[in-house]
Structure 1
Amino acid sequence: MFERPWDLITVKPISHADITVGPSAWVQTHAAKIVPGGRVLDYACGSGRHSLWLAQQGFEVVAIDRDQTSLDQITSQQASIHTENIDLESASWSLDYLGTFDAVVVTNYLYRPFLKKLPTLLNSQGVLIYETFALGNEAFGKPSNPDFLLKPNELLGFSENMQILAFEDRFINEPKPACIQRICAVPLQSNHD
């Protein structure tokens, strides 16, 4: 019936949703600073790549995003992850009912009006792990709108009451060429190494 091997091949266009990327190396490196088994908030979790990885590492994960479909996919893969459907750009933003966290992880998301709120989500031993795109990224694709790109050293400015453990503002090649800025910080009174 099929004489040629290529008769069995179905070509399907690749969409963005088909491409899966593992957890960020930055998140993996700095997750070691989180209290073992600690409570972690994956803020604007998107597809949940960090939520899923953190849960596999034994953390209690709360994943928040505005996309219910993504949240449903996360819980279908890892039922232990608590999800919350929240518009993080809403004027009525409040996560007080969730309590505080041993870590807040944010990747590839920027909404400047609430940057200063992120440290308030941490408990006294908490760790903020943040990584997103920076100016210069417009040369490599999206995001290219300056509203969604950090200015030089901008993450340092919103974390004045934090002890900076690590900071980078640089170009990366992997997983794709991009200009990024990233920080790992803890509350000033923290006893982290």
Structure 2
Amino acid sequence: MDPACTARPKPAAATPPSAWVRRWAALAPAGGTVLDVACGWGRHLRWFLDAGFAGTGVDRDTGMVDDLADRAEILRHDLEDGSPWPFAGRAFDVVVVTNYLHRPLFAALEQAVAPGGVLLYETFMRGNEAFGRPRNPDHLLGTGELLTAFPALQIVAFEQGKVETCGTGVVQRVACVRAAEPVGLV
């Protein structure tokens, strides 16, 4: 079984970052800034910090990343309570969102990507309800939804379908950049 699938109490250091995030992170400027949205255990934030990025993690419960407070900006913020986006006017070289969906944030996420930066998004889509959580349609992407969610960004890679990582699930993934010209694929 994939190590990322084991019981939740495991420390983030023992949970590897998503293969999708690892692959497409190469599009980001080395040593840039990263925003990990709904960061949870901070597995992606930790990985980027270890790679020399300056990091920011945001979640409504930051207890699982409090140990990073000396290495990163950690913000406790409920992204779904209707309060303003806490990063208005800021831009990051990498914006990472995994296993989280709140459609009202799409525009803010798009605006948070700096010129030359990358948005890496991976979460569940319809069809996942047959295999496990989440099952609520509000938390599941529609077919191809991420293809149109960030119109100001250039799509570099997209996938959707069934995966066998922690048992069977159905996911959608996109890697987009803020660039006027085509970028080299990794």
Please say whether Structure 1 and Structure 2 have the same fold, judged by a TM-score greater than 0.5.
yes
Shift of 1:176: 3.1
Distance change (3 Å), C-alpha of 1:98 and 1:59 = farther
Q: Percent identity?
A: 40
Gaps of 5+ in 1: 1-13
How many residues align? The count is 177
Query: Counterparts of 1:96-111 in structure 2 under 5 Å?
Result: 96=87, 99-111=90-102
Alpha-carbon distance in 1 for matches of 2:29, 2:108: 21
* Cα-Cα RMSD: 1.9
Contact 1:104 1:121 in 2 (8 A): yes
Match of 2:9 in 1: 17
Alpha-carbon distance in 1 for matches of 2:111, 2:167: 32
Would you tell me which structure has more helix in proportion to its own residues? 1
1:159 alignment partner AA: F
Contact 1:167 1:181 in 2 (8 A): yes
Distance change (3 Å), C-alpha of 1:35 and 1:190 = farther
TM-score by length of 2: 0.87
Q: Deviations over 1:34-62 (max 9, x none)?
A: 10000000011011011111111111111
Match of 1:117 in 2: 108
Shift of 1:191: 5.8
Gaps of 5+ in 2: 1-5
Query: Counterparts of 1:95-174 in structure 2 under 5 Å?
Result: 95-96=86-87, 99-174=90-165
Q: Deviations over 1:52-107 (max 9, x none)?
A: 111111111111111031231444xxx31221111111322223467210010000
Distance change (3 Å), C-alpha of 1:86 and 1:190 = farther
TM-score by length of 1: 0.84
Contact 1:71 1:85 in 2 (8 A): no
Rg (Cα) greater in structure: 1
Between the two structures, name the one with larger relative contact order (CA 8 Å, sep ≥ 6).
Answer: 2
